[in-house]
Structure 1
């Protein structure tokens, strides 16, 4: 059994909500499927039996190790891997699985794979799955000045990433995630929404990220023009971000789910079909 089931003392409303949803259910073994500093700092304060953190980035793996510090135990792991690989965590199951902004980040590492993500994760979920995401704001049509500024910041960030040869994240709305959960064989337990007030840190962080891409532009004139546009946007956004209301727009969402028996799946798992066909073909070649 876990060491404890009480709260971690986190100040994050979303992590607090997960602890409420978990209730008296032990955390047991925990999988942080797309780990980061914030999630690992929270998980290390929970009463887990063991924890495994997965990232596709060597740099993030080092960051997570440093964040865990002396709270990293012999039974805990930080692994670098890609969920595309069928060998990653093969045969392992965890009591609690966290997808912390995981689906939105897939585009940067494995484009076009989002619909497979929950099918791939499902065999590893023993009791409870928690998904954190943000409602898409880049393709939205906001009706407030704050919303339009947030959208403009997101669009210039993504444009700079694309022009530099990188891939931006692609967020998915909660209704899409809820449909995918049913198709992958999960029962949705609860969904909560958390309105967002973007502050100065968001404005500077996203626009500074855009600026860092300019050196990779193939046309120096385009890069210089974009630099001026970014700073002009910063000058427009910061005064509103510093106000009490901030840039109030959009919402994060939290979904809790549990796995159902295979017979309750809405659709056949395409990954299992693929691996089955691959195995048959390999047998024929032998």
Structure 2
């Protein structure tokens, strides 16, 4: 849905050279479907790099790079007509802690004068909600993050739409369009988050704590499943899309 809106906003403007700044299978598959001059996709994960190379076939003018935007020499001389920032900011804390404020400035170097930057993000969940369904999803997110931290790993950290808009302007961008996409969460989403939590249990060495977390995970799963069976998918929160250009000096 979000990619379709990007295509509508792009209209008849050529895609030119595309940079997928924080690539994944969905974003790269979509980028490969476009009539572009070239595609450069960057991931900070060796696992994603191997998986994407196995699953997707790239041509001569399409390249996949495993690197980190903290590396100042990464694509240092390259300029692109379309820059896709697809949930990258939220993932930064997992790969380059405290680099969030510098990311947009870093990417601006690679956007052509008339090019488009498309930023996709997730509005962070609040700490609490009076709505029962919303609160169940908040509990699920906190459980997932607790498991990640107890495993000794780093959580992703999402940023609000308002914060991103402010940072884009600070870093010399002009915001062209913004659109929220309101979410409905069903069991596929719930199961994906439970799978993340459970995948961290082998890293938690305290046996008693491990069992208590495992039991708590089952309890939350049953609570959410019962709620969704009775009331349907939970309408909660939103993702957002921003189109921005370099501000003319």
1:208-234 Cα deviation digits (max 9, x unpaired)? 111111111131100100000001100
3-state secondary structure, aligned to 2:69? coil
Aligned-partner SS, 1:154:
helix
Query: Structure 2 unaligned runs (5+)?
Result: none
Counterpart in the other structure of 1:147: 134
Report SS of the residue matched to 2:56: helix
Q: Hey, what does 2:173 align to over in structure 1? A: 186
How high is the TM-score relative to the length of structure 2? 0.96
Are residues 215 and 251 of structure 1, via their aligned partners in 2, closer, same or farther at CA, if it must alter by over 3 Å? same
Give the drift of 1:60. 0.5
Q: Aligned equivalents of 1:94 and 1:143: distance in 2?
A: 45
Residue of structure 1 equivalent to 2:5: 17
Unaligned runs of 5+ in 1: 1-12, 264-286
Give the CA RMSD over aligned residues. 1.3
Indicate conservation of the 8 Å contact 1:41/1:67, yes or no: no
Instruction: Please give the residue correspondences for 1:232-243 in structure 2 after superposition, counting only pairs within 5 Å.
Output: 232-242=219-229
Task: Pick closer, same or farther for the CA change 1:28–1:243 going to 2, 3 Å.
Answer: farther
* Mapping 1:27-46, distance limit 5 Å: 27-46=15-34
* Aligned position for 1:252: 239
- TM-score calculated relative to the size of structure 1: 0.84
Give the secondary-structure state (helix, strand or coil) at the position aligned to 2:6: helix
**1:243–1:16 distance in 2 versus 1, CA, 3 Å:** farther
Which residue is equivalent to 2:97?
111
Matched, 1:91 2:77: yes
Larger fraction in strand: 2
Q: CA deviation at 1:243?
A: 6.0
Q: Distance in 2 between matches of 1:33 and 1:73?
A: 18
1 or 2 for the larger relative contact order (CA 8 Å, sep ≥6)?
2
Preserved contact between residue 199 and residue 242 of structure 1 (Cα < 8 Å) = no
Alignment of 1:210-221 (within 5 A): 210-221=197-208
For 1:10, the equivalent position in structure 2 comes to none
Please state how far the C-alpha of 1:142 moved relative to its aligned partner: 2.0
Match of 1:26 among 14, 30, 39: 14
Confirm or deny that 1:63 pairs with 2:51.
yes
Q: What is the aligned counterpart of 1:156 among 130, 143, 150?
A: 143
Supply the distance in 2 between the matched residues of 1:244 and 1:63 (Cα, whole angstroms): 37
Number of aligned residues:
247
Cα distance, 1:65 vs structure 2: 2.4
Deviation at 1:64, TM superposition (A): 2.0
Match of 1:227 among 200, 208, 214: 214
